[in-house]
């Protein structure tokens, strides 16, 4: 149990290293979709653009962290968490949040 | 029980440049294994391969004779101190000691300069203090093996002595693999010594071999 809590805290620490950009892009996408209804009858047409922006910024974030903040990975690896595990868990959370907000805005 | 960590027949090249060729190294609990070598001869690369964060072109890493692909992913098997400070700057000493399940009061008792710094963030500490705290938590962690890549970097002479004492204490129940350019410290500390030269490891039985292999002049 302690290990699970510790690992969740570690995942949160890792997520916080790029959460500002990730959340800003998510919120900007949701905000755009929400307000698009005032200008067009089909705001869902903006979805591909918003998704592409999210994917591209996520790619940039991954590149930046892997190349310019790679030292911190040793902290997590010393506690048994691999790079793949860190990225897959945090990005799953980030994209779930992104998708949920977009669905909410569309409805 | 004695545990054994071995790197066997390790080969690595970057394009046409051969970095490691048929490297063998053995580290066991209860002993300090020193790894010497000039700059750029692959000491850190070898440590990364043993730790599992770099994949060799060929060769195996074995723990108690069992092939182990990624040592760091095996619970409580090994930890690695890289050449640089690796702790995320926003973390506090409290968080780091809790993550590694290491007692802070023992630490501040031993290093009084850390008194009242329990809640301090890493970014407020000096390079030497960060290095000392990182080395301490790794040496006191539950891991059976500790790989130390230049642990004396950033440390004052007094701190170096204290870290040496810590390493000697830790070897009672751990295996230590250590490399540093302060080779006299490594020679003094080590029970087993290897020199990495021309891409391969040479088991050193006598210090005169270091001279023969061109590492030092006696």
pLDDT number for residue B201: 94
The whole model's pTM is what?
A: 0.92
Rounded to whole angstroms, the Cα distance separating A96 from B132 reads 40
Predicted local confidence at residue A1, as pLDDT = 65
Beta bridge partners of B149: B179
Contact B46, B196 (CB under 8 A): yes
Residues in A lying within 8 Å of B, measured between beta carbons: 6, 9-10, 13, 16-17, 71-75, 77-80, 82
* Closest by CA position to B78, among listed B15, B164, B187, B4: B4
Per-residue pLDDT in tens (0 to 9) along chain B, 218 residues: 899 999 999 999 988 888 999 999 999 999 999 999 998 889 999 999 999 999 999 999 999 999 998 999 998 999 999 999 999 999 999 999 999 999 999 999 999 999 999 999 999 999 999 999 999 999 999 999 999 999 998 899 999 999 999 999 999 999 999 999 998 999 999 999 999 998 999 999 988 999 889 888 87
Is some CB atom of chain A closer than 8 A to the CB atom of B68? no
Instruction: Collect all residues with Cβ–Cβ distance below 8 Å to B19 and sequence separation of at least 6.
Output: B12, B13, B42, B45, B199
The verdict on B48 touching A (C-beta cutoff 8 Å) is no
Of all helices (H) and strands (E), which one includes residue B211?
A: helix B208-212
Q: Which residue has the tokens 């960060």?
A: B130
Predicted pLDDT of residue A105: 87
Cβ-based contacts of B82 with chain A (< 8 Å) = 71, 74
Residue B193 near residue B204, CB atoms below 8 Å:
yes
Q: Percentage of chain B surpassing pLDDT 70?
A: 100
Whether the ipTM is more than 0.90: the answer is yes
> Looking at beta carbons, which residues of chain A come within 8 Å of B85?
71
3-state secondary structure B114-179: HCCCCCCEHHHCCHHHHHHHHHHHHHHCCCCEEEEECCCCCCCHHHHHHHHHHHHHHCCCCEEEEE
Q: Which residue of B has its CA nearest to A2?
A: B99
SS (HEC) of A15-36? HHCCHHHHHHHHHHHHHHHHHH
For strands B17-28 and B4-14, give the pairing.
antiparallel
Q: Which of B80, B85, B91 sits opposite A78 (nearest CB)?
A: B80
Whether residue B175 contacts residue B206, with contact meaning beta carbons closer than 8 Å, is answered with no
Residue percentage of chain B with pLDDT more than 90: 85
- The set of residues, in sequence order, having a beta carbon less than 8 Å from that of B101 and lying 6+ positions away, is B141, B142
Q: Is B128 on the interface with A (CB under 8 A)?
A: no
| Nearest CB to A6; choose among B51, B82, B99 | B99
Residue with tokens 């630490």: B107
CB contact under 8 A, A74 and B86: yes
The reply to whether B40 touches chain A by the CB within 8 Å rule is no
- Please indicate if any CB of chain A lies within 8 Å of the CB of B54: no
Residue B64: which region, alpha, beta or left (left: phi > 0; alpha: psi -120 to 50)? Answer: left
- Kindly report the nearest CA distance between residue A10 and chain B, in angstroms: 9
Q: Is the pLDDT of residue A42 over 90?
A: no
- Residue B69: what pLDDT? 86
Cα A43 from Cα B151, distance rounded (Å): 58
């Amino acid at each position: 149990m302690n290990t699970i809590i510790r690992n969740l805290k570690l995942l949160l620490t890792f997520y916080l290293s790029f959460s500002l950009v990730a959340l800003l892009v998510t919120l900007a996408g949701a905000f755009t979709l929400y307000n698009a209804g005032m200008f067009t009858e089909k705001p869902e047409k903006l979805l591909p653009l918003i998704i592409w922006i999210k994917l591209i910024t996520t790619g940039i974030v991954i590149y930046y962290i892997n190349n310019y903040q790679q030292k911190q990975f040793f902290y997590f690896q010393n506690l048994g968490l691999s790079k793949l595990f860190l990225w897959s868990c945090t990005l799953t959370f980030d994209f779930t949040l992104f998708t949920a907000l977009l669905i909410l805005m569309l409805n | 029980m004695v545990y054994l960590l071995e790197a066997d027949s390790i080969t690595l090249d970057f394009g046409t440049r051969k970095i490691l060729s048929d490297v063998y190294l053995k580290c066991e609990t209860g002993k300090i294994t020193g790894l010497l070598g000039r700059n750029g001869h692959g000491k850190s690369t070898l440590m990364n391969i043993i730790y599992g964060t770099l994949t060799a072109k060929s060769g195996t890493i074995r723990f108690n004779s069992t092939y182990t692909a990624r040592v760091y992913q095996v619970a409580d098997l090994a930890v690695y101190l890289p050449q640089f400070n690796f702790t995320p700057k926003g973390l506090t000493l409290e968080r780091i000691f809790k993550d590694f399940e290491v007692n802070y009061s023992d630490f501040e008792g031993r290093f009084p300069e850390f008194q009242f710094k329990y809640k301090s963030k890493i970014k407020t500490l000096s390079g030497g203090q960060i290095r000392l705290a990182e080395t301490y938590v790794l040496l006191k962690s539950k891991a059976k093996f500790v790989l130390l890549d230049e642990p004396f970097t950033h440390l004052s002479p007094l701190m170096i002595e204290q870290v040496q004492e810590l390493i000697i204490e830790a070897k009672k129940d751990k295996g230590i693999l250590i490399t540093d350019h302060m080779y006299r410290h490594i020679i003094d500390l080590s029970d087993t010594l290897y020199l990495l030269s021309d891409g391969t490891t040479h088991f050193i039985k006598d210090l005169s071999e270091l001279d023969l292999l061109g590492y030092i002049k006696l």
